[in-house]
Structure 1
Amino acid sequence: MIVPDHLGPNLAASGASGTWDWDIAADTLRVDARFAELYGIDPRDAAGILPTDLFFKAVHPADRARVRIAVAGILAGAELFSKEFRVVAPGGATFWMHARGQGHLDENDQPGRFTGLLVDVTERKRTEERLRVAQSAGGIGTFEYMDGYATATVSAEFCRLLGLHPASVLPIQTINSILLDADARLIPGLGESIDPDGLDAEFRIVRPDDGRQRWIARRGEVFPEGSGFRMVGVIYDVSSSKQQEAELRELNNTLESRVEQEVATRRRAEEALRQAQKMEAIGQLTGGIAHDFNNLLMAIMSSLNLLQKRIAPDPGTARLIDNALQGARRGAALTQRMLAFARRQDLTTERVHLFDLVYGMRELVERTLGPSWSLALSIPSSLPAVMGDANQLEMALLNLAVNARDAMPEGGAVTIAAVCRTVNDAEPGDLIAGPYIGLSVADTGEGMDAETLARATEPFFTTKGVGKGTGLGLSMIHGLAKQLGGGFVLESQPRQGTTATLWLPVADVAAESSVVPAMPAMEPTTGRSGTPGDVRRSLKIVAVDDDGLILMNTSAMLEDLGHRVLEAYSGQGALAILEREADVDLLITDQAMPQMTGTQLADIASETRPALPIILASGYAELPDGAQSRIVRLGKPFDQMMLERAIEQAMG
């Protein structure tokens, strides 16, 4: 038997009698074999499509109307269905069923399907009836009342059940005074009429002898007596059955609550998965765009640098070239932010003490904020070091401080704090188990609503208006945190400010090999013809890049530095040159190339020439494990000075 997912394991395990799947649009019903047997349908047709009228035909006539009303609610768009009703089997036997189901909307948000299952609760119903009979046996009080009298004749058990002093005759007012409902009447008062159809009733009383509240049931009949009537009846205590009914209701409510929680949890998980897939797709797209844009900027910047050196001195022309270079550098900064979001930026990882880092840039942050914004720091000096890139962390912290300032245009308070906490395996979220430092920047500004908060770390999303931001600041910080093995969390409420927390792994347990160290900075020296650096001798260099424009500009910069360049457009072409030319001094290769990557080329070249210096030029951060020790990294886009520094480092 197939049990619909939304009904949950608890209900399914209690003994389901049949399942249904109602196609509302087609007005057809698909059921399983047990459902068909219960409803008197040929089992061979159980897997077939059945007219929906059969669903109601087997319902007991006394229950059919309320079942139709409940089903009508599903047809009107209600989500959950839960009813108990009797079913008359083909042989005439009557069974009690608990039906649980759920309505499903189609693509037009109209009721499309109605699925569910039946649970046989006949034995429970019979048990409840037996309990009621057992509870009333030996505890039945009798009474007789004549119309027009102010008293009633009662039995001793009647008095005991109500907690009244034993008597054979009691005033009607005394009997009715113990009812909690002031408008209720256990026995009609003098001159009051009585409804013969409303004799079976239940009352809540307060016993005068012990003050306990009890439930009393009344059953009786009315007989004509002259011009009036005579009422004869019995009462018995039904408090236990009422308590059981309350417990059953509580159990049913708990079950429904669990089902709702499971559905809500599943929806949240599905939404989180969709968001993760969305951000991953955006990250891959952003990284690819940044890589290609890096190549374009590489060609522009290198060409402008060479042009700047070769044209005749002219202030107007020099200013135009400088403007172009500044624009290219701004583009390079933009690609670095895009690569940061895609977790592909070049990082230098080291032990960083946040106390020293934050207090070291306090003056810079205060100048950036301005006089209308106060700055408070709460960084314990005892915090352990984290594993990170100090320069990138400073940029991230300054970026968050600027965002906090912009969220408070009239001024306010900015607080930079840090705490240490340990994440365990049972905690939700993206952080793996271990110790972390949370570096947070909080403001007292406008805050964000839920919709804005959900999109805040998306690339190019900004609330600052056109021309006032790239929308990459928070996405860059998010990517930086992920690349360092941590996480980034934004908390915000409208008119209650925002807190941005960068979670960083403690250095002692961080995986230092997870990021790639950048090339150390070197002070420029004066070289030939005013060019930066001093290579000291001309080198024979193999330059490899699958992009002809990049290869041409790289060769031009190398030749301008006085080197002899052999060009190759692929790894195979470079290997052919190395096999042919025995006196090659240096190999400079791109990383992302078809058929053979730069690191693969380096591995093959090192097998035959283990002493050959190699420079790997790439806009991405990732390198295979072990490659850092024998390869000099040159990030794209690079200019002639950066190229010469990499050559000096590679040549030792």
Structure 2
Amino acid sequence: MSEATDALVQIEAELERARRRLQLTLDAAGETCGWEWDIPRKRFVADARFAAMTQQDPLTLADGTSPDRFFTSIHPDDLKRVKLAVAGMLAGSEVLSKEYRLRRNDGGYRWVHASGQTILDANDDPLTFSGMLVDITEQKRISEQLRIAQSAGGIGTFEHIVGYGTISVSEQFCRLFGLHPTRVLPIGTLNDLIHPDDERVIDLSDPDALQNDRHIEFRVTRADDGAERWLARRGEYVDDIKSSGRRYVGVIFDVTDAKRTQESLHAANDALAKLAQESMRERNRVWNNSRDLFVVLDIAGVFRDVSPAWAEILGHDPDDVIGRPIVDFVWPEDVDLVRAEMRKAAENVYNDLEIRVSSIDGAPRTISWRTSREDDRIFAYGRDVTLEKEQKTILEQTEAQLRQAQKMEAVGQLTGGIAHDFNNMLTGVIGALSLIKRRIAANRLDELDKFINAATSSAERAAALTHRLLAFSRRQPLDRQPVDVNGLVTSMEDLFRRTLGEQVELLINLAPDTWKAVTDHNQLESAVLNLVINARDAMPEGGKLTVETSNVVLSASDLAQGETLKPGSYVVLAVSDTGIGMSEATIEKAFDPFFTTKPIGQGTGLGLSMIYGFAQQSGGHVHIYSRVGLGTTIKLYLPRSFDEGASNDAALKQEGAPPRGEGETVLVVEDDNSVRILVVDLLKELGYRVVEAIDGVQAIPVIEGPGRIDLMVSDVGLPGLNGRQLAEIAISARPSLKILFITGYAAAAASRADFLAPGMEMITKPFAIDALAKKVREMLSLRS
């Protein structure tokens, strides 16, 4: 006997045994009811078996409760048809026979058969609705196997070991796909034969190559004759010590005929449901008791019936509504919408829409409708959502208030960033002047230029920050002259390399025929440097940074609708990185003033907004092209100059490192050169040996090294690792180390209790030199 015949015989035997068990269950039940529904009193009673199957409290059901408990645990996909069947029983239908699914304790579902009947009084009004539930899960499972086996032209078997791109197959398996019989097939070959919208035999998209063990059905185009067939797959995982990996074993059936039969069955069920609806009473209890609106209209849009809820919700007596067109009750502004939707409903298009309907007092009520057509009637179900709409309006107002609060928070972030930068600059000015005064008093006039230069540099940076504030608001004065963009980039190359460090590879690609641009030389330098710094910060692990120039001529058709850039000739300066990239949400906010992805104290959010404002004021534009994980390109469009001449490159100065000293060892970590020079020189004058670092990357080797460190003085707002994070690393390596934070952001000082741990102190910029010296002495005197 063939493999398929053996399987069929076995399944038929199991089905017969399941039928016998079901009959024994029904015989044992006798006259015992699973439930009894007192219809007039709306009281529902059920026995312990019903309670167990529906996962409810048996005592509550035994004492009587709400009829809604009948529908507890029913599968969502079955709930609607069960409710329709029960509604028919409550309306007077005498016999119920339904199969549906109930949720199990483990989250799965069991199949049950509900059979019941309605007892009518002398006036044919329903009195009680009683019945019982029987678990038919096993019968359904075996019936499904029998259906598949009976419809199959044969059963093909296969086995897949996780991690391999092939599967072992039987000859019948190959025949089902129209392939020449073989023992091993590539998974890709099989999947290519499957309809693209259907599931695969073996799905390799999961990195763990795990397959589901449920029944799936899919269409295949046979390789030999090109015919399309429906196949079904079942399988399960088998773990044993003999196999080299986890095995997925399954079978394949041809279910083409079953699918066609299923489609015919669906059509028959629809026809049967239609007959059942026509036989139900026109005025059933669901219709009368619903608090939502039910209506029946003809194709012309005239009411043929409305539920009593019209009187409760809208105040209109149903008798005053029937026979009148729907537009008589629609709010005037929604009449055209209703007419259009009625045409769709007449074409049997299911619709969901909201329209306003006039109530009896003349006020509009917003009703959410769903419609469908059957024969020459349009059925509509409406739910009053007026309160929901009002609540939505309140929510929108609340969201507007939230956005305002977020704007204020952004202003606070801006204030913190500016405070940090200005306090750094003021510390450079005030500290330098204090040291100059001390040296003059001691008649030490050597090296005064160093402190004068530091004070001047800090003051110039403060002025530059003011320019950035004006730039994003497009209120800065621009000296627009012809600028040689290639020459400007070339003159800044050394500065770029010093700024980027060794981890970032710099590429300069300048088109030799690049035009001159009409712009402000100094502001363009600042903008390009900002773009380079942003690109560097986007590559914390290093990468490649490219600066390019080119020419472009834009016509009206090249520009998007609403684009501020006008048609014309432009010089394009592009800065690209291979960093972390930006999401769409970040790109949308990138040019907003105050927006920054950097921590508080490390960015004012004025960098890109300054560049955007500068470009707009120059008659150009800025575009961002970015993908998360793939990097970012920012293109600066500047109008072409047709005049000769370009501004000269500005010279950049680099400050030298201070000499080393003797005494107790203090590690100074400060990224601001002026502040670091002042602190280092002060500590050296006080007799300390000073080790300096500009950021956490330079400081960590010193901390983890063998050298002596008695105190660490660190800025809070360091690039990369901030000062607080660096302090945690330092204390882990040296538990007794004292930490003195210096910060230019006042908010940090306001939350000192949360910010500082034992052994830590903080001093806020700008600070007096004597105050810093005193604080250092105090902390070292307490060193354990």
Range class of TM-score, shorter chain: 0.3 to 0.5
| Structure-2-length-normalised TM-score | 0.30
| Structure-1-length-normalised TM-score | 0.35
Higher relative contact order (CA 8 A, sep 6+): 1
